[in-house]
Each structure stands twice: as C-alpha cells, then as structure tokens.
C-alpha cells in the first residue's frame, strides 16, 4: 500500500510505503532527476503530509508516533507519541490540526502547534478513514458497527471538530464497512466510500443521503476531491483508480497496473495539473488532468 501527497506549491510529491520495506520518500519535481530527494526507513509507516511552507513534513505510524522531518535533507525535527494504534489520519487544510482514528473506536484531534490533545472520544464501532472539513467545522470517520452473527454494518460518524461533540450517524445497510470519507471543498457535503462499492453523497450536518453512485465493485479504499471540487478521484480495493465528475459521479477516466498486491491512495496536485497514483514495484505514476 502507498500513501501519496503533495506540497502546496505542487513542487514536491511524497510516498509512504506501508508494507514490506516501509519507508517515507519524496521527490522534487523541478529537479532533472527521477530519484527521491530523500528515502527514510520508517517501520509502521501509515501516512505523511507536507506542512505549510514546505520546509518540514509530518509522518504518522500505525503505533501513533508523530514525527516531523526536514524536507531539505530528511533530518528528524521532532517526535511525539500519541499512545494509541492508528487506523486513519487526516491533516487539516491549514496544517495545524491532525485527526486520528483507532480500530477500537477511539477518535482524537491533535493540535500540532501546541503538541497537545484538543479532544478525544470513544465510539463502540470500529473506525477507519477520517477527514476534517475545509472550514474546520466538522470531523468525520468511516465505521463498521457490530451486528448479530459476527457481521458488521457500514456507517459514518460526524463530530463537531472544535469540541468533539457527536453530531450525526448514518448507517449503510448493504455494506459491511465504510473505508474512506472526503469533504467537498465547498463545505456543503461529503462522500463516503463503502466496501460494497458504493459512493454515497451526504449533506451536512444531518448526513442525509443526497445520492448513491455505483463505484468500484471491490469497494473504494480512498476518495479525494480536487481543489476546485469538480473532480473526485477514487482508489479501488484492487490495482485501479478512477477519476469521476464530482457532480453526478460519472466516470471520466480509469487506469490499472493489474498488480492486485499493490494498493494506493490517489492524490490531485494542488495546482490541478496532475493526479498521482502508486504503481507496481513501488513506483509512482503521474497523469495529466485535462
């Protein structure tokens, strides 16, 4: 599995290899070289982001270790232990707050500037991918609720991002898990991807279902809007990704490398010119966005 991300200027691209030789690496796309600027071994690596100013980046491990690294040479700047296992993570638009979820149902918001816990909540469901709304008002996470006969039911949780107060829950009866969620840049709604291959568009703050679109058959493991909110990228639970029209969900483009052992998130560059996705043999591909 690869986790991909861009810096705000669309100059740097990072990749987190989560399995095998787990590592964190990044490229300078203005360089003439195709090799990473830095490659760092990072056991348990899960996710990473460039911080504002592109001088440092933040990484998260499955054991809840937060570390910042210098972009120029990969030197370690700081380390913080959150003390919990991590199943989902999302950095706020301004790079100051980090939302974390745990498989056992814990969700917390971390203030990166002050290095302290803003709030923490416990939930009876298993929690997966999470997101903060662009305006900082909401926090959401995909979930799986235990059901009779050892089954689970997919659902979505919504909290007040400032206080952690629960706001709404929405269950998806035809699916067992909600893997991923993304807020629309407009702040008017969000999209959830389920293990049944559904892309569910929901309104805020009540999580009313606006429409349900058939997504990748094996299920969506990651969804992301472009900066303008006109496109939605979807990573499937196979070796494929799609780009769809955000309004209506019509598929515009799809690609695959046919390697079912290599999953990846998909990421739009902030300038809107490219979409990146992880290929086989730990490579990263770039596609132009017309």
Q: Is a pLDDT exceeding 90 seen at residue 27?
A: yes
Q: Is a pLDDT exceeding 70 seen at residue 260?
A: no
Q: Is a pLDDT exceeding 90 seen at residue 18?
A: no
Residue 2 and residue 14 in contact, taking contact as beta carbons nearer than 8 Å: no
Reported as a single tens digit per residue, the pLDDT across 225-256 is 999 999 999 998 877 899 999 988 888 998 88
Q: Is a pLDDT exceeding 70 seen at residue 32?
A: yes
Three-point CA angle 190, 63, 139, nearest 5°: 20
- HEC profile of the chain: CEEEEECCCCCEEEEEECCCCCEEEEEECCCCCCCCCEEEECCCEEEEEECCCCCEEEEEECCCEEEEEECCCCCEEEEEECCCCCCEEEECCCCCEEEEECCCCEEEEEECCCCEEEEEEECCCEEEEEEECCCCCEEEEEEEEEECCCEEEEEEEEEECCCCCEEEEEEECCCCCEEEEEECCCCCEEEEEECCCEEEEEECCCCCEEEEEECCCCCEEEEEECCCCCEEEEEECCCEEEEEECCCCCEEEEEECCCCCCCECEEECCCCCEEEEECHHHCEEEEECC
Residue 254 and residue 237 in contact, taking contact as beta carbons nearer than 8 Å: no
Reported as a single tens digit per residue, the pLDDT across 57-101 is 999 999 999 999 999 999 999 999 998 999 999 999 999 999 999
Reported as a single tens digit per residue, the pLDDT across 109-126 is 999 999 899 999 999 999
3 pLDDT band, cuts 50/70/90, is very high
Q: How much is the pLDDT for 259?
A: 60
Reported as a single tens digit per residue, the pLDDT across 127-179 is 999 999 999 999 999 999 999 888 899 999 999 999 999 999 999 988 999 99
**Proportion of the chain above pLDDT 70, given as a percent:** 99
Q: Which domains does the chain carry?
A: 1-81 (2.40.10.480), 86-214 (2.130.10.10)
Q: Residue 271 and residue 276: Cα distance in Å, rounded?
A: 13
The better pLDDT of the pair 204, 19 is held by 204
The better pLDDT of the pair 204, 216 is held by 204
Residue 17 makes CB contacts below 8 A (sequence gap 6+) with 1, 2, 23, 24, 25, 45, 282
Three-point CA angle 151, 175, 169, nearest 5°: 95
In sequence order, the β-bridge partners of residue 140 are 131, 158
Q: Is a pLDDT exceeding 70 seen at residue 261?
A: no
| Average pLDDT of the residues in 253-282 | 86
HSE-CB for 28 with a 13 A CA cutoff: 11
Joined together, the tokens standing for residue 96 give 């100051």
Give the global pTM: 0.94
Q: Is a pLDDT exceeding 80 seen at residue 202?
A: yes
φ/ψ region of 73 (left if φ > 0, alpha if ψ in -120 to 50, else beta) reads alpha
């Amino acid at each position: 599995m690869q986790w991909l991300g861009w810096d705000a200027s669309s100059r740097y691209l990072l990749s987190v290899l989560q399995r095998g030789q787990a590592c964190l690496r990044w490229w300078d796309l203005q360089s003439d070289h195709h090799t990473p600027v830095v490659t760092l071994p990072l056991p348990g690596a899960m996710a990473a982001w460039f911080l504002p100013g592109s001088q440092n980046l933040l990484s998260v491990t499955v054991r809840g270790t937060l570390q910042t690294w210098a972009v120029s040479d990969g030197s370690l700047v700081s380390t913080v232990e959150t003390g919990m296992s991590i199943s989902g993570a999302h950095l706020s638009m301004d790079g100051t707050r980090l939302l974390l979820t745990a498989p056992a149902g814990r969700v917390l918001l971390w203030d990166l500037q002050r290095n302290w816990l803003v709030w923490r909540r416990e939930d009876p469901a298993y929690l997966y991918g999470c997101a903060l709304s662009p305006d900082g008002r909401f926090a959401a996470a995909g979930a799986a609720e235990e059901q009779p006969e050892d089954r689970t039911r997919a659902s979505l949780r919504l909290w007040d991002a400032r206080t952690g107060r629960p706001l709404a829950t929405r269950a998806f009866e035809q699916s067992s898990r909600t893997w991923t969620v993304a807020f629309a840049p407009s702040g008017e709604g969000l999209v959830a991807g389920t293990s049944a291959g559904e892309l569910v568009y929901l309104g805020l703050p009540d999580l009313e279902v606006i429409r349900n679109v058939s997504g990748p058959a094996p299920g969506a493991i990651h969804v992301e809007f472009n900066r303008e909110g006109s496109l939605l990228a979807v990573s499937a639970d196979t070796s494929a990704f799609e780009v769809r029209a955000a309004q209506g969900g019509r598929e515009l483009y799809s690609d695959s490398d046919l390697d079912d052992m290599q999953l990846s998130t998909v990421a739009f560059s902030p300038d809107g010119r490219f979409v990146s996705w992880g290929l086989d043999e730990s490579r990263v591909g770039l596609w132009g966005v017309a």
